[in-house]
Structure 1
């Protein structure tokens, strides 16, 4: 009798664990969050942060901005503006939270992350919302793509940044 009474309880506990696991997988866990401090901005989609007593170069996931520091490439249209935007949004000393996806490093050994400011706002999307970056997927990292794409669509609708009909230069890509 004890055994038959435990079967429904085990089933409920198993179902609850599956649901809880799905919620943790969807919202992210503390394991994928890293508190850090901004050391400097490199360009519109790259910054250097400090955590664990070391500096880490971070590439913002799912957004691409015009180049300003790529070796052998000229400064691209809106590149300086994207860099200035990120510098204003994340000044030296600002606290940030990094959230990671499937691949944690890119081919240049930069950490790939969603970067959240002190107000828990995804800065990656804010760059796209300003029309200074575009949504991009570097498989398998898609975690922030939908948010960045939605922000880009808002920039297009409001004709800001790269989507402005009066922009004097031609953005790459």
Structure 2
């Protein structure tokens, strides 16, 4: 199978997934990536419009607040939790992860909660901007309240800004 055929196949699989369907959390990879199961298959999901410090990037050290971001995501989305994914224009990133807004059982946008804790920053991966305003507002709240990366007592330099 050619590389083009593989990419087309992956895009077709991502397009087949319905917005708003319920998935089950299998595991948290890091502060902005989870693996979910939709009863047919497991999918790696990258939370849209938020970026957290690295903890699992090959060849990179664990960044300041990366473990804390991962721990918060594990707390918000424990194994077995149900989530609802909402998508934007581009459904996959260059690592074949689905790009989505992830909503917990209380219908809370988890992407924004990571930023609200000061453990992630708002970021746009064009053309996807659907959740950016919510994440940016949460980030600004974290800055005003000096949470996470904005804490004056933080002894390390956080990852992405």
- Range class of TM-score, shorter chain: 0.7 to 0.9
1:168 correspondence with 2:155: yes
Match of 2:13 in 1: none
Superposed, which structure 2 residues align to 1:1-150 within 5 Å?
A: 31-150=18-137
User: Could you list the per-position Cα deviations for residues 104-163 of structure 1 after superposition, in whole angstroms to 9, with x for gaps in the alignment?
Assistant: 000000000000000000000000000000000000000000000000000000000000
Q: How many residues align?
A: 144
More helix per residue? 1
Deviation at 1:35, TM superposition (A): 1.3
TM-score norm. by structure 2 comes to 0.87
User: Could you list the per-position Cα deviations for residues 28-51 of structure 1 after superposition, in whole angstroms to 9, with x for gaps in the alignment?
Assistant: xxx522210000000000000000
Structure 1 residue ranges, 4+ long, deviating more than 6 angstroms after superposition: none
Instruction: Pick 1 or 2: higher relative contact order, CA cutoff 8 A, min separation 6.
Output: 2
TM-score norm. by structure 1 comes to 0.81
- Bigger CA radius of gyration: 1
Q: Provide the secondary structure at the position in 2 that maps to 1:33.
A: coil
Deviation at 1:69, TM superposition (A): 0.1
Deviation at 1:53, TM superposition (A): 1.7
CA RMSD of superposed structures (Å):
1.1
Deviation at 1:52, TM superposition (A): 3.9
1:156 correspondence with 2:121: no
